[in-house]
Amino acid sequence: MVSPFAAERLLFTPATSTADAIPLIFAFPNEYTIGITSLGYQVVWATLAARSDLAVSRLFTDLHEALPTQPEILGFSVSWELDYVNILAMLEQLQIPIWSRDRTDSHPIVFGGGPVLTANPEPFADFFDVVLLGDGEILLDAFINAYQEVRHADRATQLKYLAQVPGIYVPSLYEVTYDGADGAVLGIAPIEAIVPAQVQKQTYRGNTLSVSSVVTEKAAWENIFMVEVVRSCPEMCRFCLASYLTLPFRPASLEESLIPAIQQGLAVTNRLGLLGASVTQHPEFDLLLDYLNQSQYDDVRLSIASVRTNTVTEKLAETLVKHDTRSITIAVESGSDRIRNVVNKKLTNDEIINAGINAKAGGLSNIKLYGMVGIPSEELDDVEQTVAMLKALKKAAPGLRLTWGCSTFVPKAHTPFQWYGVNKQAEKRLQFLQKQLRPQGIEFRPESFNWSVIQTLLSRGDRRLSQLLALVRHYGDTLGSYRRAFKELKGQLPDLDFYVYDQWPIDRVLPWSHLQGPLPIGTLQKHLEMARSYF
């Protein structure tokens, strides 16, 4: 059987490693088809592989390139919280202790990056020597260059030196104090004066954004060339990590970045993916559509990430249909005007209905809407308004297939709703929506309430969870494993309700208080007050 690596078409030139190059393993804690479809993983791998002072080997859960016997650095790109199980398994496979405190000078420096760890690395902090907070464009070279300076020093010296680089977080150099074993965090402080008290997320502010470095038929999205059209989102919905954590909003330059990248990608494939939290809000999006509508691109299959409702025009729909796409995805959150005001979703039901009319008129056959239950202050009446809005949309655009994807509100670090817990009524509201929508011929796709609870546990967790996570994995990584692990650790850490359902006081020290996101905490509190004015 031909190796999946042999099917790759590279869009960059890997460097030839020098004789004394640092042996580095770059891992994705999932299968190859998933990992190679991650634009973040592709770009970091290409950045590392383009350095002649590194000898980079890739590792996935199901296959790997030839691995060095004595790697000096092991990196993980972390996109999903629950992949931590695979990280621990991969460490064991490489005969590296899962706990950073047990590693010696003979073990590699284990680093992690990606949105999960940038948001709140604390539940996983004891597994990593180093966490890169923010954008790889800035952090990767800074990290490798700093490591080169202390390459031949002992491990303790290396970690102290790395901790002084902006955006590089070394968890073992910080001490956390608690209000009793099962109480809240009281403080987080560096254990030495040379270690910064706060680590600032690093933000790349350029207008050349990420593009695929490899195209392969073995990817989950077969043969797709991906282009990051925008980074962050100008809407700033108050629950949204993708917006708040990645501020400010940056569109890629059309002439200098997007068009040259698309030309390069479409020379090797006819499948194009436009990525970003709010792709259609690129200031020159219409010109991008005009470019893609040229006759030489008639055979290109176009995929587009979630778009803003009031940018769904007939022209957009017609362009998508021409390029073999029959569906569009928009996030509307709720059919309730009040709830949309609470979350800062600048949108009306009329605009949602108009988007459906335009989608149908342009030839699309399906529209997927994404919403949420359990948003702070939500009542059953708000959920009933969502049902009414969807019925009105179905009536206004007959024949258009409607899908309502619905998640449960999960509080995220560095957003204005980080102090709120999960609404215990959310599960019943998902059931209510299912009962109301299915008879209307509206496809309902709820996300699992129970896994939303686990996601909240990890998004609001502190360092004490690492021992819980190790136990959960030991017990089989099921929902029942979490209950069993909490029972076993009773008295050693807070209970599930504390992390998941409790509303935390605004002046509480948060588990991530020593990690500074794009906005100061005072600004997040002001945004929360604006939300509460609609409660």
Q: Residues 517-527: what's their mean pLDDT? A: 97
Total domain count, the chain: 2
Give the full edge-to-edge strand order of the sheet including 327-333: 327-333, 366-373, 401-408, 443-446
CATH of the domain at 28: 3.40.50
Classify residue 501: in a domain, yes or no: yes
Classify residue 97: in a domain, yes or no: yes
**Residue type (1 letter), 128:** F
pLDDT of amino acid 167: 98
What proportion of the chain, given as a percentage, has pLDDT over 90? Answer: 98
CATH of the domain at 265: 3.80.30.20
Structure tokens at 266: 């479409």
- Sign of the Cα torsion 73, 77, 82, 86 reads negative
Residues 55 and 401: their CA atoms lie apart, in Å, by 50
Residue carrying structure tokens 């790697």: 71
One domain for residues 17 and 115: yes
One domain for residues 444 and 497: yes
Tell me how crowded residue 162 is: count the other CB atoms within 10 A of its CB.
Answer: 22
Residues ≥6 apart with Cβ < 8 Å to 101 = 126, 172
Q: Residues 32-60: what's their mean pLDDT? A: 97
Residue 299 CB-density burial (10 A; 0-12 exposed, 13-18 middle, 19+ buried): exposed
Q: Does an H or E element contain 408, and which?
A: strand 401-408
pLDDT of amino acid 422: 98
**Over the range 99-128, which residues count as b (16 or more CB within 10 Å of their CB) and which as e?**
ebeebeeebbbbbbbbbbbbbbbbbbbbbb
Distance of CA 386 to the CA centre of its chain: 27
**What are 336-376's pLDDT values in tens digits?**
999 999 999 999 999 999 999 999 999 999 999 999 999 99
Q: What backbone torsions phi and psi does residue 455 show, to the nearest 5 degrees? A: -60, -40
**What are 219-238's pLDDT values in tens digits?**
999 999 999 999 999 999 99
Structure tokens at 383: 């959920």
Classify residue 399: in a domain, yes or no: yes
Residue 290 has pLDDT above 70, yes or no: yes
- Sign of the Cα torsion 465, 469, 470, 475 reads positive
Q: Residues 168-172: what's their mean pLDDT? A: 98
Structure tokens at 306: 């979630």
DSSP secondary structure letters along 216-234: -TTSSSTTEEEEE-EES-S
**What are 83-133's pLDDT values in tens digits?**
999 999 999 999 999 999 999 999 999 999 999 999 999 999 999 999 999
One domain for residues 191 and 246: no
Q: Are 508 and 184 in contact (CB under 8 A)?
A: yes
Tell me how crowded residue 219 is: count the other CB atoms within 10 A of its CB.
Answer: 24
One domain for residues 333 and 443: yes
One domain for residues 230 and 181: no
One domain for residues 123 and 243: no
One domain for residues 303 and 185: no
One domain for residues 247 and 171: no
Classify residue 106: in a domain, yes or no: yes
Structure tokens at 146: 């700093």
Residues 275 and 175: their CA atoms lie apart, in Å, by 39
One domain for residues 421 and 328: yes
Q: Quick one: three-class SS letters along 40-67?
A: HHHHHHHHHHCCCCEEEEEECCCCECCC
Classify residue 336: in a domain, yes or no: yes
What proportion of the chain, given as a percentage, has pLDDT over 70? Answer: 100
One domain for residues 153 and 241: no
Q: Residues 184-193: what's their mean pLDDT? A: 97
pLDDT of amino acid 306: 80
**What are 424-466's pLDDT values in tens digits?**
999 999 999 999 999 999 999 999 999 999 999 999 999 999 9
Residue 181 has pLDDT above 80, yes or no: yes
List strand residue ranges (DSSP E) for 38-184, in order.
54-59, 73-77, 109-113, 130-132, 168-169, 174-178
Domain that holds residue 183: 9-200
**Over the range 409-431, which residues count as b (16 or more CB within 10 Å of their CB) and which as e?**
bbbbbbbbbbbbbbbeebbebbe
Classify residue 498: in a domain, yes or no: yes
Classify residue 98: in a domain, yes or no: yes
**What are 379-423's pLDDT values in tens digits?**
999 999 999 999 999 999 999 999 999 999 999 999 999 999 999
Q: Quick one: three-class SS letters along 256-305?
A: HHHHHHHHHHCCCCCEEEEECCCHHHCCCHHHHHHHHCCHHHCCCEEEEC
One domain for residues 127 and 91: yes
Residues 155 and 134: their CA atoms lie apart, in Å, by 24
pLDDT of amino acid 1: 64
Domain end among 200, 232, 254: 200
Domain end among 200, 231, 247: 200
pLDDT of amino acid 173: 98
Spatial CA neighbour of 317 closest among 279, 269, 345, 359 = 359
One domain for residues 462 and 363: yes
Q: What is the pTM for the complete model shown?
A: 0.96
Classify residue 214: in a domain, yes or no: no
Mean pLDDT of the chain: 96
